[in-house]
Amino acid sequence: MEAVLLVGGQGTRLRPLTETTPKPMLPLAGIPFVTHQLVRAREAGAGHVVLATSYKAQMFRDHFGDGERLGLALTYAVEDEPLGTGGAVRNAANHLRGAGPVVILNGDVLGGLDLGALLDRHRRYDADVTLHLRRVPDPAAYGVVTTGPDGAVRAFEEKTERPPTDQVNAGTYVFSRAALDEIPAGRVVSLERETFPALIGAGRRVQSLHDEAYWLDIGTPAAYVRGNCDLVTGLAPSAALHGGPAECLVLDQAEVGEGAALSGGTVVGRRARVGPGARVHRSVLFDDARVGAGARLSGVVVGRGAVVGPGAVLTDVMLGDGAGAAAR
């Protein structure tokens, strides 16, 4: 089985963190996010994965190389100008080695979907495309998908104001090779706004698998923090992590001062320092971050080398790499 990972977006909602690091390379529980997906693809039987890159493409190659360390063959499809989700898939197809169905994953989804089950469904219905669907409380922020009783997809509406259902596209697909090769090459194409509606309109076999396993799009600040904490506390599954569930994850050479309390799945990055008496709840401290004595943090991201002053009180904010926040 081969897979394509879409990792070329700008991650605008996670600025300023994504000004220095592309969203899929931001750390989740201490490792670049996309590692969780790569290991998941490997566990499901993928031997070869194409990373569809554009924004800060070189950072992926520098970190993962040929994939050998992860037990995968990795290749990189690079878009000089972002081609959209469909254009990215089409461009990545040039790097595929086989002719079988291909698993496509949005590069910002943390989840426990059984990829093998999605492939089985695709094969059973001899589908052109099979989508993973899920219910969410806020469907307007996603691709809303209407299905018939047999799971056939009847309509796909991307980010619509009046969603007809709370069932949405969860961002993992299987494409038959023919459906993939039909996407026009060399121009911007959106899977969600162009490819899916066109396939449905043409009466092609667009199938779905509704699955309610753990699922989170980490693309907003609140979701990014939640994904980290859920991995640490064991709510989110990941075959890329080895420790058991915990209240916090303190990485190599970090220092936590006397009487400091870390809770809710807080991550303390490598060489980071938390001062005495600080209370850090559901927060993510990047490598080399510093939190002063007695500070109180909740829902906070402290970027690489960023500094929170002693006694500062911060809630639900993100400090970019190297930023500073003093006590009010």
Query: Residue numbers of the site for Mg ion (CB under 5 A)?
Result: 108, 217, 219
Q: Which is nearer to ligand GDD, 171 or 299 (CB)?
A: 171
What minimum distance in Å lies between the beta carbon of 8 and ligand GDD? 2
What minimum distance in Å lies between the beta carbon of 219 and Mg ion? 4
Q: Which is nearer to ligand GDD, 87 or 309 (CB)?
A: 87
- Residue 225 binding partner per list Mg ion, ligand GDD, none, with a CB distance cut-off of 5 to 8 Å that depends on partner kind: none
CA distance 166 to 169: 10
Q: Are 88 and 8 in contact (CB under 8 A)?
A: yes
Backbone torsion region of residue 271, taken as left when φ is above 0, otherwise alpha when ψ lies between -120 and 50, otherwise beta:
left
What minimum distance in Å lies between the beta carbon of 309 and ligand GDD? 33
Q: Which is nearer to ligand GDD, 230 or 288 (CB)?
A: 230
CA distance 38 to 43: 9
- Residue 169 binding partner per list ligand GDD, Mg ion, none, with a CB distance cut-off of 5 to 8 Å that depends on partner kind: ligand GDD
Q: Name the helix (H) or strand (E) containing 17.
A: helix 17-20
CA distance 221 to 270: 21
Q: Which is nearer to ligand GDD, 8 or 305 (CB)?
A: 8
What minimum distance in Å lies between the beta carbon of 136 and Mg ion? 12
Q: Are 275 and 258 in contact (CB under 8 A)?
A: no
Q: Which is nearer to ligand GDD, 24 or 275 (CB)?
A: 24
CA distance 322 to 216: 28
Closest CA to 21 of 29, 9, 39: 9
What minimum distance in Å lies between the beta carbon of 13 and Mg ion? 8
CA distance 328 to 325: 9
List residues near ligand GDD by CB under 6 A.
6-9, 52-54, 79, 82-85, 88, 106-109, 142-143, 158, 168-171, 192, 217, 219
CA distance 322 to 293: 19
- Residue 142 binding partner per list Mg ion, ligand GDD, none, with a CB distance cut-off of 5 to 8 Å that depends on partner kind: ligand GDD
